A and B are shown apart, each in its own frame.
Chain A
């Protein structure tokens, strides 16, 4: 594929991610931290995020299956998730976490279950989107081009 086209595609894709609210300016900040000394910074951080999030989501699912639900623990876990998502700029996940925490505080099991589903859903989306974005970037790099900022 034409390099220029690929670059354009990446830019469009990224713009759409911002536009649709999947990402926010924090992701930009993140990108700005990436330089020659640290070329894989974004990918590294985002992978950390994936790792962390999956662990948290698993734990949350388990916690909700329990007979006695430890809402305090869940709240802390959601707070973690919120922190990481806000750090990488996963805007939608972060927003959902806020709602989720309110349900945790209210000890609303149904709300929590619903939120967990939504978070999982959003997480799946952002994961896919980011992965495809990284793929695009990788393609560009492989093609010898530079990633447009």
Chain B
């Protein structure tokens, strides 16, 4: 069966894993497009390359435009200047023409001859820097030639210096500047260019230019400027004929264009950068160069043309500028584009790298997640395996234990008995261990669910204490519990688990403590100083060992006087807590209302012992499962070391945390916090109190004096008495108590007269005159009308001799054995005060079948099982413990029998039955009960109190605990379960919850 279970678990685990993996496959965008990443990168690079090319082109184009603009502006500037200079020179020539006409023709005789002209022109040459020279040629018609030649004494010659052939007209040079004196007497009309010029000039009356040609003197390219000179004044708008008729001669000058431009360019900046050509473009098909070389290198791609106007409308000139050098590569643009590209490339690569990294990290993450899920699954599987195996082991173990118990019942020799007993002890230890492992596995598998029911914390603590009272008493260890008044009476939580924690801790303490005390203290977590880091504390503790040695001799103000590991529980701090409560007691009543507003209450529980402590090196691993202080611990003290780890788990489940302070050879203090819900008052009165024992209220208002030298212990005693509603005073010693009583008795009257005096055994023994004082006390009382207070001795353990002595000393009334429990104290007081039936306070035996017998004896129990054999066996087992058993063979029969009112005390119910299974039957029974309850409630006011009686404890009987888990049992209203077949201890534990032995019986 185990194997099958495991398989199904395994199956469920794998399914879970798959599911988890399925849901966790949420990919991001990057992850989804991981294959595209390199392509994205390539695309990015391409786009960026394109972009940088575009940037380069744009910048380059900008550059070109700027270059062109610069060129055009330079070109235009040059053209303008050239034009200006030229027109200045032309104006001068014009002025000269007017000079000639004025002085040569209007004056008679002529005021100008060659010498005058030469001198004048030479002296005014600075005004015509561009002209290599000027000359004046007179118009001579053929009829006047002879006359003219005679007058001047030379013949007219052609340009080739030959006597001129006969022509209609001649234009011999008569005046010339010295620089061009070689042309004197030459007929200007003999040159083709000049002739044309002359004809055009006299027709238009304006300066005209020749096309460029090589000048005679300098061989520079040049043009000749010709002005007509008129004999008489012309009419305002003369016709061409009139102009020709009035023409007297022509003034001409040769422009050395080449040097003109050269000069001009030399004056301007940027001369080196550009190349200037000047053309005559009169004939548009054949441009004549005026300046510059035709085939010069230069940037042919870019040129600028500027128009030149030299004042001759017939001729057109043009200046063409080019850059000397080709446009330099634009390094700025290139660098910018390149850098841009590089940066983008890097950015792209970084993004790519990041994406790749993300992909990798995500892959890793998914892998890890998968591994984590698997690990968790493995862990769960392990826990389930443990749970299953533990359970499977339990069954045969029960057999072994049963056999051993039987064996021990037989006649055995002492050796055999010893062996068998040892085997039984071992077996029990094994069962405990298995139960613990099962618990732990359940916690780890997350199967442990805490219930939330109202319970009385104080009575649980009392129960736990009573469980250990026997052991502690035998050891002479004082066991005490103290709960702060502020802790609510009822809290919501899981009483079973709380009990388990306390039992574990106190059990440990009892195990490891041989002297001194074990002290459980509960208070609100808000009260004390905040918890300090236990590690730091332990370090501190280690350091203070020396101190402890020194102080070893002195009495500590702890419960028993032995030193405790945690100073906080000593009187010095404890009294603050108590005093605090005292002071604020009234206030706290008011505050309670406010407190109740908050839903939860955090409690701080500490368990202090004065045992062997935990070695420093082992303190780290105290809460780790199966780790004991050292291997010798389990030899000496037994146990597995799993208890504390379970405790820790439980505490954490309950929303608290646990820590400890321990000093070797001094003791340990385990403290934990836990969060409980507050009980609402309204629901509180309605709910049953399964764990609360009702304390008798007959002691309210009684006054008690506690005589105890140790304040902590006195506070504990007072705590228990206060729970009974008594007023408590302290006295350090018997003497003080006696004197106080005396005074009170005489002065204040009955109000302060104590009813009871409780004397701690230590105080009584240590006071030498104890007995005496007591007697005085007695006597004083006797002297008055008041009845004497009852004297009660408190002791942890007491020998018979001491008991006798006590009786003799006046403690005739009773002795209360510690640990104190409110119910037990109440019982004793009842006995002493005569309010209850008398009973000798003894040491209750709490073990074995006698207890089970006493629990079940006389109880009427219903066994429900469809299997007649099982029914018979269960009935037999229960009968053996003295119970009256009735049987029902089905759920229906059980329902019939359990119709209210019935007289059954409990019901054992099989789960798997035909027709109506145990769960269903239980549900119906509970329904019946609640219906009855409602009716009752409607009828009488007492209904709520009586409900408890109508809750029949139902225990499930089942062979396999795994299937019918405890939770399932609880869910349908059962109170617990017993594993079939019955095992004594198991049965006891299940039954003990419901059939409490009467409080008195175990005191």
The interface of chain A, by Cβ under 8 A from chain B, is 24-26, 28-35, 37-38, 41, 44-45, 48-49, 52, 76, 79-80, 83-84, 86-88, 98, 149
Residue B550 at the A interface, CB < 8 A?
no
Nearest chain A residue, comparing its CB with the CB of B395: A25
Check A33–B870 contact: CB distance below 8 A: no
The 8 Å CB contact of A86, one of B402, B866, B959, is: B959
Taking a contact as CB atoms closer than 8 A, the residue among A25, A35, A88 that contacts B873 in the complex is A88
Indicate which residue in A25, A35, A84, A98 contacts B870 across the interface (CB closer than 8 Å). A84
8 closest residue pairs by CB, A with B: A25-B399, A84-B869, A83-B867, A33-B876, A87-B870, A87-B869, A87-B873, A49-B869
Instruction: Write out the residue numbers on chain B whose beta carbons fall within 8 Å of the beta carbon of A49.
Output: 869
Q: Which residues of B contact A76 (CB under 8 A)?
A: 914
Contacts of A83 in B (CB 8 A): 867, 869-870, 959
CB distance from A15 to the nearest CB of B (A): 12
Mask for B598-615, Cβ within 8 A of A = 1, else 0? 000000000000000000
User: Which chain B residues lie closer than 8 Å to A31 at the CB level?
Assistant: 406
Q: Is B880 an interface residue (CB 8 A)?
A: yes
Q: Which residues of B are at the interface with A, using a C-beta cutoff of 8 A?
A: 1, 396, 398-400, 402-403, 405-406, 409-410, 866-870, 872-873, 876-877, 879-880, 912, 914, 959, 980-982
A52 to B866, CA, bound (A): 11
Q: Bound state CA distance, A24 and B409, in angstroms?
A: 19
Q: Is the CB of A88 within 8 A of B869?
A: yes
22 contacts between A and B (CB under 8 A): A25-B402, A25-B403, A26-B981, A28-B402, A28-B403, A29-B873, A30-B873, A31-B406, A34-B876, A35-B880, A45-B872, A45-B873, A48-B868, A76-B914, A80-B866, A83-B959, A84-B869, A86-B980, A87-B870, A87-B981, A149-B406, A149-B410
**Contact across chains for B873 and A28 when beta carbons are under 8 A apart:** no
Known A-B contacts A33-B876, A87-B873, A149-B409; the reply to A52 vs B400 at CB < 8 A is no
- Bound together, the chains give a CA A7 to CA B718 distance in angstroms of 64
Closest to A33 in B: B876
What's the Cα separation between A41 and B873 when bound, in Å?
9
Residues of B with C-beta under 8 A to A29: 402, 873, 877, 981-982
Nearest-CB distance from B387 to chain A (Å)?
20
A32 near B402 with CB under 8 A, answer yes
Known: A45-B869, A79-B912, A98-B1. A86 touches B399 (CB 8 A): no
Q: Which residue on chain B has the smallest CB distance to residue A76?
A: B914
Tell me the minimal C-beta distance from B237 to chain A in angstroms: 139
> What is the bound-complex CA distance between A132 and B860, given in angstroms?
37
B872 / chain A contacts, CB cutoff of 8 Å: 44-45, 48, 87
Chain B interface SS verdict (over half): helix
Q: Smallest Cβ distance from B999 to chain A, in angstroms?
A: 31
Could you say which residues of chain B place their CB within 8 Å of the CB of A88? 869, 873
Please name the residue on chain B nearest to A73 by beta carbon.
B914
A24 to B395, CA, bound (A): 11
**Residues of chain B contacted by A79 (CB below 8 angstroms):** 912
- With a cutoff of 8 Å between Cβ atoms, the chain A residues found around residue B870 in the complex are 83-84, 87
**A94 closest partner in B (C-beta):** B959
- B400–A25 CB distance below 8 A: yes
Q: How far is the CB of A123 from chain B (nearest CB, A)?
A: 13
Decide if B398 touches A25 in the complex (CB within 8 Å): yes
Compute how far the CA of A41 lies from the CA of B878 in the bound complex, rounded to whole angstroms: 13
Tell me the smallest distance from the CB of B823 to a CB of chain A, in Å: 34
A116 to B879: give the CA distance in the assembly, Å: 35
In the bound complex, residues from chain B placing their C-beta under 8 Å from that of A52 are 867-869
Q: What B residues does A34 contact at CB under 8 A?
A: 876
Alpha-carbon gap, A41 to B879, bound state (A): 11
The residue on B at minimum CB distance from A46 is B869
Task: Give the chain A neighbours of B980 by CB distance below 8 A.
Answer: 86-87
User: Separation in Å of the B705 CB from the closest CB of chain A?
Assistant: 53
A88 and B880 alpha carbons, distance in the complex (Å): 17
Q: Is the CB of A33 within 8 A of B402?
A: no
Q: Which residues of chain A are near B959, meaning CB under 8 Å?
A: 83, 86
Contact of A24 among B399, B406, B879 (CB under 8 A): B399
* Chain A residues whose C-beta falls within 8 Å of the C-beta of B869 in the assembled complex: 45, 48-49, 52, 83-84, 87-88
Given contact pairs A35-B880, A84-B868, A87-B981, a sample of 13 additional A-B residue pairs in the complex whose CB atoms are under 8 Å apart: A25-B402, A28-B403, A29-B981, A31-B406, A32-B406, A33-B880, A34-B876, A37-B879, A44-B872, A83-B870, A86-B959, A88-B869, A98-B1
The complex places the Cα of A86 from the Cα of B398 at a distance, in Å, of: 14
Question: Which residues of B are found within 8 Å of A28, using beta-carbon distances?
Answer: 399, 402-403, 406
Q: Give the nearest-CB partner of B872 in chain A.
A: A45
Minimum distance in angstroms from A86 CB to a CB of chain B: 7
CA distance A149 to B409 in the complex (A): 9
Chain B residues in 8 Å Cβ range of A24: 399
**A45 cross-chain contacts in B, Cβ below 8 A:** 869, 872-873, 876
Q: Complex Cα distance A72/B982, Å?
A: 29
Point out which of B409, B912, B981 has the most chain A C-beta atoms below 10 A from its C-beta: B981
Residues of B close to A41: CB separation below 8 A: 876
Minimum Cβ distance to chain A for residue B462 (Å) = 34
Known: A25-B400, A149-B406. A84 touches B867 (CB 8 A): yes
**Given the complex of chains A and B, what is the CA–CA distance between A38 and B406 in angstroms?**
17
Residue of A nearest to B4 (CB): A102
**Which residues of B have CB within 8 Å of A84?**
867-870
CA distance A31 to B880 in the complex (A): 12
CA–CA, A80 to B980, complex, Å?
Answer: 14
A30 to B876, CA, bound (A): 8
Query: What is the CB-to-nearest-CB distance from A59 to chain B, in angstroms, rounded to a whole number?
Result: 13
Contacts of A44 in B (CB 8 A): 872
Instruction: Determine whether the beta carbon of A86 is less than 8 Å from that of B981.
Output: yes
State the CA gap A45–B410 with chains docked (Å). 23
- Contact of A38 with B876 at beta-carbon distance under 8 Å, contacts A80-B867, A83-B867, A149-B406 already known: yes
Query: Is A87 a contact of B402 with CB atoms below 8 Å?
Result: no
Chain A residues with Cβ under 8 A from B400's Cβ? 25
Collect the chain B residues with CB atoms within 8 Å of residue A30's CB: 873, 876
Q: How far is the CB of B984 from chain A (nearest CB, A)?
A: 9
Complex contact A33–B981 (CB within 8 A): no
For B396, the closest partner residue in chain A by CB is: A25
- Chain A nearest CB from B121 CB (Å) reads 143
Q: How far is the CA of A48 from the CA of B865 in the complex (A)?
A: 14
B410 and chain A: residue at smallest CB distance: A149
A89 to chain B: closest residue by CB? B981
Residue of A nearest to B910 (CB): A83
CA distance A120 to B392 in the complex (A): 27
Chain A residue with Cβ nearest B914: A76
Instruction: For A35, give the chain B residue with the smallest CB separation.
Output: B880
In the bound complex, residues from chain A placing their C-beta under 8 Å from that of B403 are 25, 28
Chain A residues with Cβ below 8 Å from B405 are 32
Enumerate chain B residues within 8 angstroms of A98, measured Cβ to Cβ. 1
